[in-house]
Amino acid sequence: MTSRRTFLGAMTAGVGAAALGGRSAFAAAGTLPPEVKSSLGAPLGLQLYSLRDDAPKDLPGTLARVRALGIVEVETAGLYDKDVATVRAALDQAGLRCSGSHIGYDRWQKDIPGAVKEAKALGARFATVAWIKGDKAFSREDALRAAGVFNEAGKACAAEGVRLCYHCHGYEFVPSPEGTLFDTIVKNTDPKLVSFEIDVFWAKAGGTDPAKLIASLPGRVPLLHVKDMAKGLTLPPGSSSADNSSNVVVGTGQIDWPAVFRAAKAAGGEIYYIEDESQAVWEQLPKSLAYLSALKP
Question: What are the pLDDT digits (tens) for 49-68?
Answer: 999 999 999 999 999 999 99
Per DSSP, which regions of 31-119 are E strands? 44-47, 73-77, 97-102
CA atoms of 90 and 78, how far apart (whole Å)? 14
In a domain, 63, yes or no: yes
Pairing of the two strands 175-176 and 179-180: antiparallel
Q: Which domain holds residue 57?
A: 4-11+33-235+273-294
* Domains contained in the chain, number: 1
Asked if the model's pLDDT at residue 26 lies above 80, the reply is no
In a domain, 142, yes or no: yes
Long-range Cβ contact pairs of 48-55 (< 8 A, separation 24 or more): 48/74, 48/75, 48/76, 48/77, 49/4, 49/7, 49/77, 49/78, 49/102, 49/275, 49/277, 50/274, 50/275, 50/276, 50/277, 50/281, 50/285, 51/281, 52/2, 52/7, 52/11, 52/77, 55/80
* Beta carbons of 252 and 35 less than 8 angstroms apart: no
Q: Count CB-CB contacts under 10 A for residue 54.
A: 17
CA atoms of 17 and 84, how far apart (whole Å)? 8
For the chain, what is the mean pLDDT? 91
3-class state of residue 211 by DSSP: helix
Q: What is the mean pLDDT of residues 18-37?
A: 59
Q: Count CB-CB contacts under 10 A for residue 276.
A: 26
In a domain, 245, yes or no: no
Confidence band for 100, pLDDT divided at 50, 70 and 90: very high
In a domain, 214, yes or no: yes
In a domain, 43, yes or no: yes
In a domain, 75, yes or no: yes
In a domain, 261, yes or no: no
In a domain, 263, yes or no: no
CA atoms of 182 and 121, how far apart (whole Å)? 30
Asked if the model's pLDDT at residue 186 lies above 90, the reply is yes
* Beta carbons of 44 and 274 less than 8 angstroms apart: yes
* Residue 42's CATH number: 3.20.20.150
